[in-house]
Amino acid sequence: MIYTREHFEKLDKQDPLASFRDKFALNPGEIYLDGNSLGARPKKAAQRAKEVLEQEWGKDLIRSWNTHHWFELPYRIGDKIAGLIGANKGEVVCTDATGINLYKAVATALKLKPTRKVVLMEGSNFPTNNYMIQGLVAQLGDDFEVRFAEEHEFADKIDEQVAVVCLTQVHYKSGRLLDMQAITEQAQQKGCLVVWDLCHSAGALPVDLNAANADLAVGCTYKYLNGGPGSQAFIFVAKRHQNKVNQPLSGWWGHSAPFKFERDYQPGEGISQMLTGTQGILSLAVTEVGIDLMCAADMQQVRVKSQALTRYFIELVESHCGDYGFTLVSPRDDERRGSQVAFSHPEGYPIMQALIDAGVVGDFRAPDILRFGFAPLYNSYADIWDAVQRFKDIMQSGRWQEPRFNQRHAVT
């Protein structure tokens, strides 16, 4: 089908999520397609940060742990996130970084399966997940091991030797979406526990952990949940697994009575045991602003718009830039794709740098992936049309070949 900009403008007028766009601080003239790496800043985040800095920290100081309920922030935000990922209150806490939470989650799952020593992971997964679990099993001893498998190998590799299957629901490079319910059921039939990484799915599509009978899960808040750079991650532990074993990073915030200052560790009840040390209150307070925005949205509408944005982008890139050597890496099937689109190209890095210079912000993932993330709360349909027109101009003009675009930065 041949599209015009008017077609996308009409879609924007009909978009039930259109009002959310004005709630974000977006740069004029820029098309931000990197929400899968760092979400845009909610406008109210600046005011919230000012409140915490000037009043809660600046004036109320230590009293704020009680008067402004700082101590409850990880639980309060966790319960809000629970509503976005199909969990119950008391099953999620917002704390630490994703990698640390993954360490805690897999260590907990291994303790729940004491006769098994194998963790199965996807080798092409985001590397830090693999690194963290390799570090964990190295600490546990030579009897433990990490085995890697890709999606087409899961059916054969998930067997009775495996204690924990640890997978990311939406692949960080390709945007491929795994069937959480089917894989969880398959693994549990083999006696395995499953730990899901929701970094690229929480806030981008409906997630229902309890409907899938998930065991544990982790995820970040700085992508589609718009919590800010380095904002705290979250961890989910199903109620049926709570209070059975202790996670190894037993800090004072996870103690049953942290302000008794007892010599020996006594684990807290329920999800509280997944806390470790003192939380980053400034970050948590700002994170809550983004979480509240996402909680106000209809996740089914978010998913419908996400599928449309990514589908239109694929069609437009292939029709306008199809002669320039791009290969679609993401699934073409809407149901198999998260909220991002990846194309491969031998010159992917300089092309992406030229796009960023032209005001279309995506990112590059080695060795050859141009990655574009679509955040339905603030990306419009007209953004898709305008982005591809700039993309086409860069390819037609050859501007990406300029030396400045071929200089590698530390962060790609």
Of the listed 223, 305, 337, 365, which one is catalytic? Answer: 223
Residue 146 DSSP SS3:
strand
Give the separation between CA 384 and CA 388, rounded to whole angstroms.
Answer: 6
Using H for helix, E for strand and C for coil, what is the string for 198-256? CCCCCCCCCCCCCCCCCCEEEECCCCCCCCCCCCCCEEEECHHHCCCCCCCCCCHHHEC
| Tokens encoding 53 | 């800095």
197 included as an active-site residue: yes
292 included as an active-site residue: no
Radius of gyration for the alpha carbons in the chain, expressed in angstroms and rounded: 22
**What is the dihedral angle through the alpha carbons of 177, 182, 187, 188, rounded to the nearest 10 degrees?**
130
Of the listed 104, 371, 372, 383, which one is catalytic? Answer: 371
Neighbours of 397 (CB within 10 A): 11
Of the candidates 379, 389, 386, the one whose C-alpha atom is nearest the C-alpha of residue 26 is 379
Residue 321 DSSP SS3:
coil
Of the candidates 124, 93, 348, 113, the one whose C-alpha atom is nearest the C-alpha of residue 235 is 93
| Tokens encoding 362 | 């995506």
8 included as an active-site residue: no
Of the listed 197, 215, 363, 383, which one is catalytic? Answer: 197
Between the alpha carbon of residue 315 and those of residues 351, 365, 385, 390, the distances in Å are: 19, 22, 10, 15
Of the candidates 85, 27, 11, the one whose C-alpha atom is nearest the C-alpha of residue 307 is 11
**Pairing verdict, β 369-373 and 363-365:** antiparallel
Give the separation between CA 158 and CA 111, rounded to whole angstroms.
Answer: 19
CB of 259 within 8 A of CB of 70?
no
Give the separation between CA 123 and CA 100, rounded to whole angstroms.
Answer: 19
Q: Which residue type is seen at 396?
A: Q
10 included as an active-site residue: no
Of the listed 8, 75, 103, 126, which one is catalytic? Answer: 126
Give the separation between CA 150 and CA 330, rounded to whole angstroms.
Answer: 15
Residue with tokens 């690194």: 131
89 included as an active-site residue: no
Give the separation between CA 201 and CA 203, rounded to whole angstroms.
Answer: 6
> Which residues participate in catalysis according to the annotation?
126, 197, 222-223, 371
